[in-house]
Structure 1
């Protein structure tokens, strides 16, 4: 279980196989480097510091959403409502900022309120899935409809702008370094701290074998609820980023991002069956999706073919990663 719990047959693996067990995101990392090289060949400026920080800024929300998804996938669950949570938090903080006058204080209050909304949505999902023992994929699909409905009630029409102090700060620079880079570093530190907590070990144990985890005394239900709560918080953080990037509210902004978050998790080497994976891999997976989109544009793919080519490219990347992992595990 990514170095935390021994896996069946792990003793039979030696050398590179053990490396892949400890770092399941390595195939994704190799694909990431290859995509960076390809992007650089077709558009040399894409490897400049400005272009790379722009890539991080554009896809930071997806990275955070992929991280959110990872925490529930650890326990062999899934959350199809992360995009709806993002949308709900997005419109909620925009409206709250407007009601409070758009001052710096209102922005701060709205951000904390948005995180609270994400936490509440995550706990609600956890109670529905783990407490009532409903199927995660069906239950979270239903709650995604609920959250989207609430978002549409709050903001029926998209396009309400965020206060200038918000998006100017998010898109600004500090000591000639983009503010989003400081955010990315802060998130990395937070993820490092969370990775060292008992909760992550428990989530992985539940995903590895739920029955064994229960028999060993782990609070399985509460662990899964906490995983969904953590997922909701990071979905809210993703909403704060998407709000800063778009500078407006949209009750449907997160709809297309849900499946991308799942794809990023799988691309990063995290098993949907639970018990194996890492948030680092999910972040890499999100960057892979971003680089694939950039590459499709740089090679001059006609607009009517772009979605098809993007989907095929992501499928190829996923297939390569799985084949490499399986071969290394032999």
Structure 2
């Protein structure tokens, strides 16, 4: 690699490592999705998809395992802080929070869920349609607390973040036979994009105007998937990455279409693919040492209950790793991804 290119990467990586704060006109952060953004809703439902135990959360404030699938915060926490709101977004189902806490930020996400209802059934988690029902309930509670006019102002000025989709492919389509027998991979992508369209339209009708739709990451490079590819050197699974790229293109087309159709809508696609792939391929330039394996356990297949405090292999310094468990990034990586989003696609909301 040329010296000039290395210098440019170093400058960019150091910029992204900085916590960026902005003076923005965003009233609240409202989150829908899966484990990439779940801040603890799964703690309160009967599912094995939990992370409310150590070593999860060991680098969170007070070393608390909140139910976030990371050693610390998730991207939406960093985004909230960057927009001058709260440092951590509370989970809607957590009874220790009140509607007052939720007025400036709330998370409805559920680890293990997807666009597809079948995906949510795999681990018995909250389906996307139920997340929408919780939002409607939240809206009613907010109206009781603040009144209709103030609630309308908050909801129309809130930034809605939707981060979902990876599980539909890695827990559903490529593992279970049902959807494969119904759809080709392209047809399934179109099916999911249709669900995304309907969901965005529904929250638009419920006052959402500023929406960030998150694309898929390079899912073939997750440590779990690389472990299944050990016979070929543990490299990224290219066909999974191509699917992610193709699906992100469909989501971009959806964004452009809805922005034309729905008056007053500001919808953006915030894709982590390019930046996360670069971090994985060039970990040193972002201050990491390991990107093929994760911090927890052997770093190849552990997540959830397989990643517990009794695992003797868990690393002592998560900041050296791109991934915390075999599926989820470390807090350090989440911070970089969030800051990248804030300075690029989310800049229109500043």
Q: TM-score, normalised by structure 1?
A: 0.28
* Structure with greater proportional strand content: 2
Richer in helix (by share) = 1
TM-score for both structures, normalised by structure 2: 0.27
